[in-house]
Amino acid sequence: MIHNWKHAADFYERVDRLKLHGLHFQHISLCERRAWMYMHNINFAQWYGRVQVGTVKHQISHVRDHSVEGLFGLSPDRIDWKNCIVYENKGTGGAVEASNNQTAFYAVMLSIATGKDWRAVTHVLSTRRNREVLLDDEQMRNLWESSDRLEILAGMKKVPRARCIPLCKTCSLSGFCGHN
């Protein structure tokens, strides 16, 4: 599928040029303001209680797969090299599109880089279940459009306007953003 994707080379070039990685594709699915802040290194997650608790849960539920280190900016949680499956752990099953975007991004980049077809799986820690992320036409369109939006955000000097959404109540940037 990926090898026939007409945007594969352009996507790879854009990702490399903008130094994008999985969290960019998660954030752009959630909120453009959040994505802009992340692109411009504005991040308060390390001081946010929910993120701290999530980080600890993440660390104790699976040992970090060190085989993912040095993967040209990719940092998925786990890789099954033999079966070409990339795994991303998430605390809950929420924000499905955003989680899918991040996990799919890893599989697409590995597919382009290795010439093999990779599968994407989100592992939901709270349920201990895996959710396959299909790399179908819709998902590929979503990744391409997300990369397009990220390129626009990269060129913006000012933080974009954002409307209040349900995520604002639990966002680590809510105090800075003003939607708390």
Instruction: Give the pLDDT score at 86.
Output: 95
Say if CB 92 and CB 126 are below 8 A apart: yes
Beta-strand relationship, 119-124 and 85-90:
parallel
Instruction: Give the pLDDT score at 125.
Output: 83
pTM of the predicted structure, to 2 decimals:
0.82
**Which class for 79: exposed (0-12), middle (13-18), buried (19 or more C-beta within 10 A)?**
buried
Q: Which domain holds residue 18?
A: 2-177
> Tens-digit pLDDT profile for the chain (180 aa)?
677 899 999 999 999 999 999 989 999 998 888 899 888 887 665 544 554 455 555 455 555 555 555 455 677 888 999 999 999 988 776 788 999 999 999 999 999 989 999 999 999 888 889 999 999 999 999 999 999 999 999 999 998 887 777 777 777 676 667 655
In 3D space, the residue among 142, 120, 140, 31 whose CA is nearest the CA of residue 76 turns out to be: 120
Total domain count, the chain:
1
Tokens of 108: 């697409």
Residue with tokens 């036409």: 137
Instruction: Give the pLDDT score at 102.
Output: 95
Instruction: Give the pLDDT score at 38.
Output: 86
Tokens of 94: 């929420």
For residues 31 and 28, give the distance between their C-alpha atoms in angstroms, rounded to a whole number: 5
Residue 95 Cα to chain centre, angstroms: 11
For residues 161 and 177, give the distance between their C-alpha atoms in angstroms, rounded to a whole number: 10
- In the three-class reduction of DSSP (H, G, I as helix; E, B as strand; rest coil), residue 180 is classed as coil
